[in-house]
Chains A and B, each alone.
Chain A
């Protein structure tokens, strides 16, 4: 990439970060997030519409199809900002849906944020496979309590057709972060076919969703860690600021290194995909980044609780919200263990 192109890119990523402030209040006010917890639908449809108006749902959709046509560098930067603010609206699942709705009349309403269309692709826990069994229960649909309708991939011969399925009759289970997941058993009789084959698009969209989830986790762990470092600088015990204790300093340094590795992993994966990586190269880059983000986010957030001491264990103190979010997202779109295996299955030899 030339220096000029690189500069343009950096500017575009900076603008996306700034624009996130519309939904993610600077200063880390989590009042709105707390108010939405543990009740249906777990997010604010008006904010979801705002995301549509900002062009975020269609961020990765080509301009010709009505999207913004931006890269994963931009998308990851946005997800990171939203993760820092624990924004609960299901933007990443909606972006996945947008990727497979190209060319269908449903796309416009989703991109506008007027319809919450969630894709019911998953048939079991911890997978990125889409078998598309017509009668198999679909599970773990994020924020399904707010779904306008569901998108149902169904295997038809060698193709993966896409149906729209009513959102009625969902079983909703709450998640640790205050959101929810839905499951249901499809009934094609009441479904409408939207597309003949979304297989390749869905496969790519799942890769991107995994990477974006990693970026969201990165934003969350950065914020939780920043809160913790602030606390170490102000909390006093034994007549000393606790941040002067070397045992705590070294733990903080270790967490900082986890953050740096996660950022390097996410950003290099986004760059690889933006440069056109496909197939095994794409899978390796995404799996590396998601494995790191999943493991690091759990480690960083639980150590942030420990470094806070008792106050970190109270629900009213915000750092716990980040732990709960990591518990939900670490395994969404594949756990660290799944991604390590997937990486090993596709990764090339170590270059010497």
Chain B
């Protein structure tokens, strides 16, 4: 194989797409730690720090940020290529809330002082962020959130509880949606606040999920005093800001990769179970396979839109629903055809690619997170089909 030169970060955005793809592949071969490929679970900071810092050192940490803030300034089309190659290589997700969510928000709405203080610390790995949006009584109905911030002199005093704060135990900063006006309509009294996790009054409690993993947390706020300059953007406009930030990244929830991975495991499993030539199985597999191929084609039409410089409409919700439900259908089929192996806690035959129960459980939250599929169908019926109510 010819060695591919990896150009400096500032030049990446100007490469031809296919050349860029080759550069990403070479970059991963050179830099990605082999033992972190295809981790079965979401990694903690202690585990993925090595890779995060490597990205930071190489200047590759923030692909979507403008170059002037230390990002790669990549177009959506190039970011999709980057993500495709990361997924193909089995690159672990990092503690990326600062990179993906907070950075772009501060760049768009933050003061100069906020930009100067926070952005370099994300780039250096000094600040690891987590997201405080959901609450026990504000899940799909996020705007019902009640954690409140009351101004007291130069500080906001925060009281309440957040939930599903992914990897909060690893984070040293959290960005919050908080209620700052209880009398306004529910979307209109919400603000965006940045909080140092070392502030007295914050308690983090891990939640063990069905994967027996502790990536989610509950985070409690008891009279937590936050300097008022940590408010981002306009008071009471936090909801609009958070919504405005839901950009083309929504497309990734519909990336066919997850289903493609599961399909290849289903095939392997069918072979091990002696079912690959079975006519009934073949028909079931064909249906899943065709759904996958059509999903790929549909995904491609959305990528084409981004390449033409168009933004995504509410119809992108289709991708998320189709992808996640296909992923589940595949893992359902794996469970069904594997007999008693379905119930084993460890992968069948000690083969990580035959992790039947594990994959089945991993597929469950896919239809819940990122806007449950029921919410996505609401969006489709109201904002795409124009149905009333």
Contact = CB atoms under 8 A, between A and B. Distances in A.
A42 interface: no
Interface in A141-196: none
Interface residues of A, number: 36
Contacts of A344: 282, 285-286, 289
Contacts, number: 106
Given A340-B286, A350-B260, A352-B264, A253 B294 contact: no
Interface string B294-338: 110110110000000000000100100110000000000000000
State which size class the interface on B falls in.
Answer: 35 or more
Given A261-B298, A350-B260, A249 B378 contact: yes
Interface string A335-352: 001001101100101111
Given A244-B388, A265-B294, A343-B290, A352 B261 contact: yes
A347 B296 CA distance: 15
B209 interface: no
B290 A340 contact: yes
A340 B290 CA distance: 8
Contact of B315 (A254, A260, A341, A347): A260
B384 A256 contact: yes
Interface in A215-264: 229, 232-233, 240-241, 243-244, 246, 248-250, 252-254, 256-257, 260-262, 264
Given A261-B298, A268-B300, A347-B289, A254 B377 contact: yes
Contact of A233 (B297, B376, B387): B387
A138 interface: no
Interface string A265-288: 101100000000000000000001
A288 B387 contact: no
Contacts of B300: 264, 268
B386 interface: yes
B88 interface: yes
B287 interface: yes
A291 interface: yes
B298 A341 contact: no
Given A249-B381, A250-B377, A261-B298, A350 B389 contact: no
Nearest to B284: A340
B380 interface: yes
Interface in B241-288: 260-261, 263-264, 267, 282-283, 285-287
A292 interface: yes
B389 A250 contact: no
Contact of B88 (A241, A243, A267, A352): A352
A232 B385 CA distance: 10
B67 interface: no
B387 A244 contact: yes
Contacts of A349: 264
Given A253-B377, A264-B298, A229 B287 contact: no
A241 B389 contact: yes
Interchain residue pairs A-B with the least CB separation, the first 3: A244-B389, A249-B381, A264-B298
21 contacts: A233-B386, A240-B389, A243-B387, A246-B378, A248-B387, A249-B382, A249-B387, A252-B381, A252-B385, A254-B377, A257-B322, A260-B298, A260-B318, A261-B297, A261-B298, A268-B297, A268-B300, A292-B294, A344-B285, A350-B292, A352-B88
